[in-house]
Structure 1
């Protein structure tokens, strides 16, 4: 189902905004994570863990979930479709994977923030750098797919394209 042009642009704008916001929030989180892992001042490390929790709960998770939902709406309302092109399907799978790992990791971040607040020396806590860097890499791959849009239809996309061509040929031969 194709959306009217104004609605399509509004949905696309919302999708780009939430996706870019998610990416920016992950960069900010990564800076806090590096501070938590490498910081020498216990109060700065404690503050970094507290800020990591706030960033995850009130920026990254809402932006990630909004990006997934709005991205699906966007794909379903455009000619690209959700399952027609490999790049859209891979982008969807990577986004859902990243959001799922994020939701699981949220508990760890909250636990680290609580532990850092109670511990005299939070510099011994492990941090979440592998997940931070991994999440950033996945999001950058999604951006690359969005910009370059590699060619290739899925089997479903190929069938839909053939159906559309048949309908057009039928219309063209039926018209006087």
Structure 2
């Protein structure tokens, strides 16, 4: 089913906005991690962990879910399809993996935030883990952006079959 133009534009705008917001929030999250790692004092650790928890749960998670949902709607409602083109399929898989890893990591962030506040220890080991998670997330988001902009050629077998079916129908 192809979306009507106004709905496609609304969904595309929401998708781009949420994805760019997700990317920006991850950069802000990384800045907090780096600040806490370089400062390494108890007060900075508590502030950074609290801010990371808030940004994670109230900004990054919702934006990731909106980005995933609107990307799926866009692929289902446009000629690109979900499994017709490799770039769409890879982008979807990267987004799903990034969202799942994010959702699995956030309880750890909440736990380490509580530990930091209870002990006064900035929990440097946990910060290194967050540097890895946020850095990996940033790389994945940049890869999905590159795929969206460049749209590398290459159709899946399903996409080729669908294209041939449409070509046959148009020739009748």
TM-score with structure 1 length normalisation?
0.93
Who is 1:96 aligned against?
96
**5+ residue gaps, structure 1:** 171-176
Name which of structure 1's ranges 39-48 and 147-156 shifts more when overlaid on structure 2: 39-48
**Alpha-carbon distance between aligned partners in 1 of 2:64 and 2:39, rounded to the nearest angstrom:** 28
Match of 1:143 among 118, 142, 145: 145
Within 5 Å, which residues of 2 pair with 1:7-86?
7-86=7-86
CA contact (8 A) 1:37 1:126 kept: no
Q: In structure 2, do the counterparts of structure 1 residues 2 and 37 end up closer, same or farther at CA, with 3 Å as the change threshold?
A: same
Within 5 Å, which residues of 2 pair with 1:91-170?
91-127=91-127, 128-170=130-172
Who is 1:5 aligned against?
5
* 3-state DSSP of counterpart to 2:80: coil
Q: In structure 2, do the counterparts of structure 1 residues 124 and 145 end up closer, same or farther at CA, with 3 Å as the change threshold?
A: closer
* 3-state DSSP of counterpart to 1:150: coil
**Alpha-carbon distance between aligned partners in 2 of 1:124 and 1:157, rounded to the nearest angstrom:** 48
4+ runs deviating over 3 angstroms: none
Q: Which has the larger Rg?
A: 1
Name which of structure 1's ranges 148-157 and 36-45 shifts more when overlaid on structure 2: 36-45
TM-score with structure 2 length normalisation?
0.95
Aligned residues: 170
